[in-house]
Amino acid sequence: MQVWKTVTAAACTLVAFAAIGTATPAKAQQEPHYLLALSDLRTARDFIQSDNRPGMDDLRHHAKEEINKALNEIKQAAWDDGKNTNFAPPEGGGAPWAPMHDAKRYIRSARGHVEGGVDSAVNNGLRERALRHIDEAEKAVDRIIEMSESRR
């Protein structure tokens, strides 16, 4: 009887190790496009908020709203893919005298990341909606840049 218990325990252990050893972690194979886009959009929003020049409050507010909408769409897509949306790589340095140009650079980078991400069927068009919001934010930032350059 003791021999059967030992053999059964050993067999169960081998089956458990075989099951664990053959499992492939799906999340480890996912690409970080959405997470990088979230980080870039947050950084762009910070640059937009740091610009305090008068006469552009409405455009800044519109750009931030569109970025926030894009962030919400991308977060949903990332959650559906099982990603941690709190991921944010450290921010790089930027030119303090040109926050809108820095914001535009990050918005474009975020757009590239979102375009490169996988748009699964369960996302129900989240990626396309996020891209529209990103485009609207970029248009608002472009208008701010145009206005500031015409005032020089």
> Could you tell me the two tokens for 14?
């081998």
Give me the pLDDT at residue 138, please.
94
Contacts by 88-97, CB closer than 8 A, 24 or more apart: 88/38, 88/39, 88/42, 89/36, 89/39, 91/43, 91/46, 94/47, 96/50
Q: 0.75 cut: is pTM over it?
A: no
For 19-58, write each residue's pLDDT tens digit.
Answer: 554 444 434 334 578 888 888 999 999 999 888 888 889 9
Domains of the chain: 30-150 (1.20.1260)
Nearest to 26 by CA among 83, 75, 89: 83
For 53-68, write each residue's pLDDT tens digit.
Answer: 888 899 999 999 999 9
HSE, side-chain direction, 13 A CA sphere, residue 133: 23
